[in-house]
Amino acid sequence: MSRSFFLLMLAATCLSSQPVHAGGTDRALDAFHRTCVAQGPDFERTMTLAKTRGWAPLSGDAALAPVDEMTAFQAWQTVGEDLPAGAMVAVAKGTMDGRAVQICSVKLLDVDRAEFEKRFFERTDAEKIGEARKGKQLSRLYLLIASNRRQMVHLTSSAVEGIPNILIASSIVDK
């Protein structure tokens, strides 16, 4: 095989595959999608994943679950190369508007909300169904279908310039 042909094939392969080290926003979206959206929230599956990957359990920080009434909650500080540095994952069971739901949330540090949302729309069929500002927080609610399940995605971030870019992305499904 000639060297030029080999280099051409290598370039084509690199261009057609996802980057191994995607940018911060892409990595954050991949982590949220893989952990919470692709198969939908699943309390037991996420507990097993956390144990398998050696995530450190956290006490408290129920703010990671966007429901008022929780019946079960667990959060972890993640470790590993497949999640952005400092990411936290939480799962919960609870009720929302009188319905039993499961929630999976990922707290991501140093993420540009606008860029995250742009890439989120490029990757999913999400439809924005609501927005609210509460103090210094901006929350947006989206509806999408993933793995043949209707999911609500709740994105919460700072609405104030100059505050660190922290994004909490949650997927919510009926139980």
pLDDT tens-place string over residues 124-150: 889 999 999 988 889 999 999 987 889
| Local structure of residue 13 (DSSP, 8 states) | H
pLDDT of residue 2: 35
Quick check: 120 and 143 in contact, CB under 8 A?
A: no
Give me the sheet containing 137-146, strands edge to edge: 56-58, 69-77, 88-96, 99-109, 166-174, 149-158, 137-146, 127-134
138, β-bridge pairs: 133, 157
Structure tokens at 167: 């994004």
Structure tokens at 63: 């703010």
Place of tokens 């990411």: 87
Q: With 90 as the cut, is the pLDDT of residue 105 above it?
A: yes
User: What is the three-class DSSP state of 34?
Assistant: helix
pLDDT of residue 106: 94
Residues 6+ apart with CB under 8 A from 41: 91, 102, 103, 104, 151, 171, 172, 173
pLDDT of residue 46: 93
pLDDT of residue 88: 93
pLDDT of residue 76: 93
State the average pLDDT over residues 106-127: 90
pLDDT band at residue 84 using 50, 70 and 90 as cut-offs? confident
Quick check: 107 and 168 in contact, CB under 8 A?
A: yes
